[in-house]
Amino acid sequence: MLLRHIERGARIQICVESEQHTDNDIYDAVFYDMHDLINETSFVAQCTKLNKNYSELDRNTVLRIEFSSGSDVLAFNGRAIGKMYGDLVIIEQLTAIEPLMRRMYQRDEIRFEVQVYGLPIEMVNETRFKPPGMKPIISDVSFDISSGGICIVSNTVVDSRHDPYYLIDFSLSNKDQFLLPAKLVRRTNCVRSRVGRYDYGFQFIFDNMPDEKRRLTKAILSRKLSLRSM
């Protein structure tokens, strides 16, 4: 995908690529238009906050730009090279646009407690799991979930010798409890929520657990219906 393929008016999120970034380093913006029409290497973003903070960014400040296109979430790196009137900032593209993760399933923003543990690769294809007798790597609240995976936004840095395989422990109700193997397919510090600094996307592994996938699909639907009736 090329810059010129991004639609004018498309919502994008821009954040400073830094381990120490704060909420003030995250910018909700709009893809205003292309800037360099010949080489197609820069575009104009409309964002009051970014325009105001432009002087705080130097030429070496790397920005992470993320946006949605159909069923894909895509991202690339850039840097701010100028600003214009009307809350406009010129951004030069530094890396190719690449998909972070294809959304194969409808996601629902349902909040519930979730624990994440490292999972040895030799255990990924097990058919049943028991709660590990150890402290979880993440103990937080979900951002969204589907029958294909889960997103967690957290202040915790995921660090496991078993990466990218993890065991996800959560409950959607008193009777709908799950302990599922998963693969970490997306990690970024450009989050979609202010509740945490890191955004993690896990894809459930149902190769040897097809019944669990059906049970999860049913449990998500039941949880959605219960929330609507409240």
Which of 146, 153, 158, 163 has its CA nearest to residue 203?
A: 146
For residue 71, the model assigns a pLDDT of 56
Per-residue pLDDT of 30-45, as tens digits, reads: 999 999 888 899 999 9
Has residue 101 got a pLDDT over 60? no
For residue 107, the model assigns a pLDDT of 65
Which of 167, 195, 171 has its CA nearest to residue 181?
A: 167
Confidence of residue 18 (pLDDT cuts 50, 70, 90): low
Q: Is this structure's pTM higher than 0.95?
A: no
For residue 104, the model assigns a pLDDT of 47
Has residue 154 got a pLDDT over 60? yes
- Residue 122 neighbours by CB under 8 Å, 6+ apart: none
- Residue 89 neighbours by CB under 8 Å, 6+ apart: 29, 44, 45, 46, 47, 50, 51, 54, 80, 82, 83
Q: Mean pLDDT highest for which of 163-172, 197-206, 214-223?
A: 163-172
Domains present along the chain, CATH in parentheses: 3-102 (2.30.110.70), 113-228 (2.40.10.220)
What single string gives the DSSP state of each residue in 75-128?
A: EEEEEEEEEETTTEEEEEE-S--EEEEE--S--B----EEEEEE--GGGTT-S-
Across the chain, mean pLDDT equals 85
Distance CA 57, CA 69 (A): 28
pLDDT above 70 covers what percent of the chain? 87
Distance CA 222, CA 4 (A): 42
